Amino acid sequence: MTDWSGYIGLILQGALVTLQLTVMGSALALVMAFVAGLGRVSRFMTVRALATTYIEFFRGTSIFVQLFWVYFVLPFAGVTLSPLQAGVLALGLNVGAYGAEVVRGAVKAIGREQREACIALNLTRGQAMRHVILPQALPLMLPTFCNNAIELLKGTAVVSLISLTDMTFQAQVVRAQTGNTLIPFAVILVLYFLMALAISTTMRWLERRVTRGLDGVRT
Amino acid sequence: MEWDWNFVWEIMPTLLQGLKITLLATVLGAAVAAVIGLVFAILRMTAPKPIARATGFVVEFIRGTPLLVQLYFIFYVLPDIGIRLPALLAGVIGLGLHYGTYAAEVYRAGIENVPRGQWEAAKATNLTGRQTWIHVILPQAIPPMIPALANYLIAMFKETPLLSAITVLELMNQAKSVANSSYRYIEPMTLVGVFFLIMSLISVVFLRWLEERYARVEER
């Protein structure tokens, strides 16, 4: 019988890399989502065009193609990234593009009368966005952000193909060394599922927090 | 390294060969997803409670885990219990199963969006269950579903490069093998990106049209 303790350690190491990627990728995605999402509702044409190009480009191709492009093509342009950097960059930019549409949708969903009230109160555009629009738009974004974070978690499996030692990569290593296929893959499937559950639980808690005090404002 | 147009024309036939497999996998995967989604949706809505709950869990599980790992599972684990699938078939089943769970949600939402009054009216006019579904419920439930389903079709098309990981010779895999044998990555990888970008930009236009065409049914 194979001694599994060493292999379990290997998979847990992979889980750590997956976790790292998910957290850093989400952070980058969040930043990109707000930059591009608010860029799309900007009053300057150039900013709008730039944001739209970014969004369409990254939504139009899959994370896999982008990752390979970042990892294999950018070095020829003189930018050499480690697999981890390439992974975070590709995942963050890709999911950020989806998030940007969510931000835009939520900002647009805030009623006209709120905007008019801001003008009547003589708030600048920045103030209106920060104090009136965004606090109301945030609860609208969270459920979709939750889905996006889970998509990002699932996307991290792809980085194993550029030789980053994440959970999927380690499962392949274990498979190659033990010849057993069922156990490593079943274990990582369960681990991925648990991580996805953790994300959705956290998001639900966060949702309750940001909607606190907004009861009765919106039906 | 410079962009070389001669090399581009040289590798174009190989890439187009791969594109054909990509499209084939997408079409077959979509067909599988449409059927599996329907099965999941019906099980979740009409089966007895334990079965419905078990189906719900399976759907959540498939949606919460990466497609790549599911593909590995189908391609590497199933042979151990005697089911040996060709790579393309394994890929199509994986894609179909994964996106079937998404399609199931669309079906469910579409059917639940038909107002209760329609069911009651069908009962009042003495229609049988079959007649109710065919003449009353489905004609109202399906049109609003179409844009959402098309959306997932495009998403699935973009995910097909993952099949290269289980040795299907689709677009991405052809590009990789060209790149590995010639040590030129810029052209093949960029071309794959461009192919996907063009296809999805076209499909976005198509999707807008679908939305215009079918979203209106609701407002009527």
The whole-chain average pLDDT of chain A stands at 88
B chain contacts of residue A175, beta-carbon cutoff 8 Å: 76
Query: Which residues touch B78 (CB under 8 Å, ≥6 apart)?
Result: B84, B85, B90
pLDDT reported for residue B216:
57
Q: Which region among A91-95, A213-217, B101-105, B130-134 has the lowest average model confidence (pLDDT)?
A: A213-217
Of B18, B10, B5, B4, which Cα lies nearest the Cα of B175? Answer: B18
Q: Which residue has the higher pLDDT, A218 or A147?
A: A147
Domain limits for position A100? 11-211
B chain contacts of residue A72, beta-carbon cutoff 8 Å: 179, 185, 189
Distance CA(B22)–CA(B28), nearest Å, equals 10
Please, are residues B72 and B165 in contact by the beta-carbon 8 Å criterion? yes
Whether the per-residue pLDDT at A1 is higher than 70: the answer is no
Question: End-to-end alpha-carbon separation of chain B, Å?
Answer: 58
B chain contacts of residue A186, beta-carbon cutoff 8 Å: 73, 77
pLDDT reported for residue A97:
93
Please, are residues A29 and A148 in contact by the beta-carbon 8 Å criterion? yes
pLDDT reported for residue B219:
47
Whether the per-residue pLDDT at A50 is higher than 90: the answer is yes
Nearest CA in chain B to A158: B68
Question: Which amino acid is it at A19?
Answer: L
Give chain A's domain count.
1
Q: Which residues pair with A215 in a beta bridge?
A: A218
- Chain A touched by B187 (CB under 8 Å): no
Mean pLDDT of A135-163: 89
Beta carbons of B192 and A62 less than 8 Å apart:
no
Q: Which residues of chain B have pLDDT under 70?
A: 1, 215-220
Distance CA(B105)–CA(A60), nearest Å, equals 23
B chain contacts of residue A150, beta-carbon cutoff 8 Å: 63-64
Query: Residue B153 in 3-state DSSP?
Result: helix
pLDDT reported for residue B68:
92
Domain architecture of chain B: domains with CATH: 5-219 (1.10.3720.10)
Whether the per-residue pLDDT at A219 is higher than 50: the answer is no
pLDDT reported for residue A69:
86
Banded pLDDT at A216 (limits 50, 70, 90): low
Beta carbons of A185 and B72 less than 8 Å apart:
yes
In a domain, A197, yes or no: yes
In a domain, A1, yes or no: no
- Please identify among residues 185-214 of chain A the ones whose CB lies closer than 8 Å to any CB of chain B: 185-186, 188-189, 192-193, 196-197
How many residues in total does chain A contain? Answer: 219
* CB nearest B201 (choices: A60, A168, A189): A60
Beta carbons of A73 and B189 less than 8 Å apart:
yes
In a domain, A28, yes or no: yes
pLDDT reported for residue A9:
87
In a domain, A216, yes or no: no
Nearest CA in chain A to B183: A72
Q: Is B94 left (phi over 0), alpha (psi -120 to 50) or beta?
A: alpha
Please, are residues A41 and A108 in contact by the beta-carbon 8 Å criterion? yes
Distance CA(A34)–CA(B196), nearest Å, equals 26
Distance CA(A127)–CA(B183), nearest Å, equals 53
Distance CA(B211)–CA(B209), nearest Å, equals 5
Triad B26, A169, A145: Cα angle to 5°: 60
- Chain B touched by A155 (CB under 8 Å): yes
pLDDT reported for residue A194:
93
Distance CA(B42)–CA(B108), nearest Å, equals 8
Phi then psi for residue A96, to 5 deg, are: -60, -35
What radius of gyration, in Å, describes the C-alpha atoms of chain B? Answer: 21
pLDDT reported for residue B91:
93
Triad B49, B52, B55: Cα angle to 5°: 150
Query: Residue A215 in 3-state DSSP?
Result: strand
In a domain, A3, yes or no: no
Beta carbons of B193 and A66 less than 8 Å apart:
yes
Write out the two tokens for A4: 């599994």
In a domain, A219, yes or no: no
B chain contacts of residue A151, beta-carbon cutoff 8 Å: none
Distance CA(A92)–CA(A141), nearest Å, equals 17
Number of H helices, E strands in chain A: 9, 0
Residue to mutate among A95, A189, A195, with most B CBs inside 10 A, is: A189
Place of tokens 């997803």: B33
Distance CA(B151)–CA(B129), nearest Å, equals 31
DSSP structure class, residue B165: G
In a domain, A146, yes or no: yes
Distance CA(B144)–CA(B45), nearest Å, equals 19
Write out the two tokens for B160: 């097909």
| Measured torsion, CA atoms of residues A98, A156, A197, A60, in degrees rounded to the nearest 10 | 20
- CA B90, distance to chain mean position in Å, is 14
Please, are residues A93 and A66 in contact by the beta-carbon 8 Å criterion? yes
pLDDT reported for residue B120:
92
CATH of the domain at A174: 1.10.3720.10
- Chain B touched by A72 (CB under 8 Å): yes
In a domain, A84, yes or no: yes
The pLDDT tens digits of the residues spanning A5-45 come to 788 888 899 999 999 999 999 999 999 999 999 999 888 99
Least Cα separation, residue B135 to chain A (angstroms): 35
ipTM field: 0.82
The pLDDT tens digits of the residues spanning B4-18 come to 888 888 888 888 888
pLDDT reported for residue A53:
92
B chain contacts of residue A59, beta-carbon cutoff 8 Å: 200
